[in-house]
Amino acid sequence: MLGIILLGPPGAGKGTQAKKIAVEFSIPQISTGDMLREAVKNGTEMGKKAKAFMDAGGLVPDEVVIGIVKDRLQAADCAKGFILDGFPRTIPQAEALDRVTKDLKKEVRTVLSLEVDEKELMERLCGRRTCTGCGAMYHVTFNRPKADGKCDKCGTSLIQRDDDKEDTIKARLVNYKKMTEPLLQYYKGTGKIRTVMATGDIGAIYANIAKLLR
């Protein structure tokens, strides 16, 4: 069972690296951010509840995201493993994940902690562009698409996420420090944590991650 948690601040490259891991290791990327944005887009009850928190750069209540992940982990494609991208983000979420994995007889094998300094995070998030078709991420200078504003993989237009604006990014980084960073301590005790320097070439970072996972 290759259960992986990707831990790191907004902009650390969790989504970018998760997509590469998913392809090579044939396990699904489970992004709570993507699932919440989908719910907002579809106007579901959950989406309506989540939207205000997301727009403000805050965290959606634990019980909402825990429910999403619990359901998702039971899908057939998680039989061999899973990549949690953006979950857990609080201690109660981590505790709930411990319970859920135990109940489902699944296991988190590795917690990858992606490290990037704060100044670079701001530059990355301000310049991030996201494909509305397939969810691929680009950057206006660091990771440009081949054709301006179009996804290399599926040709769909790229957008700037509503929460990738300076004020909201600041709030997200503050919440990361307060609510999510304590998870590093939480997982240190498990012996499962691996630190990855996540600056520089995207392919080189991935090569290090893949080595850790093989």
Write out the residues near ligand ADP by the rule CB under 6 A. 8, 10-16, 32-33, 36, 53-54, 57-60, 65, 86-87, 89, 93, 124, 127-128, 137-139, 142-143, 163, 172, 200, 202, 205
Residue 90, both tokens: 């609080």
Q: How far is the CB of 80 from ligand ADP (least distance, A)?
A: 23
Binding mask 105-134 for Zn ion (x = CB under 5 A): --------------------------x-xx
Residue 12 binding target from ligand ADP, Zn ion, none, CB below 5 to 8 Å by type: ligand ADP
Residue 146, Cβ density class (10 Å: 0-12 exposed, 13-18 middle, ≥19 buried): exposed
From CA 149, how far away is CA 169, in angstroms rounded? 22
Residue 151 binding target from Zn ion, ligand ADP, none, CB below 5 to 8 Å by type: Zn ion
Tell me whether residue 161 or residue 192 sits nearer to ligand ADP (CB atom). 161
CA 203 to chain centre: 18
Q: What residues form DSSP beta bridges with 81?
A: 2
128 is known as an active-site residue: yes
Residue type, 202: I
89 is known as an active-site residue: yes
Residue 19 binding target from Zn ion, ligand ADP, none, CB below 5 to 8 Å by type: none
Q: How far is the CB of 45 from ligand ADP (least distance, A)?
A: 16
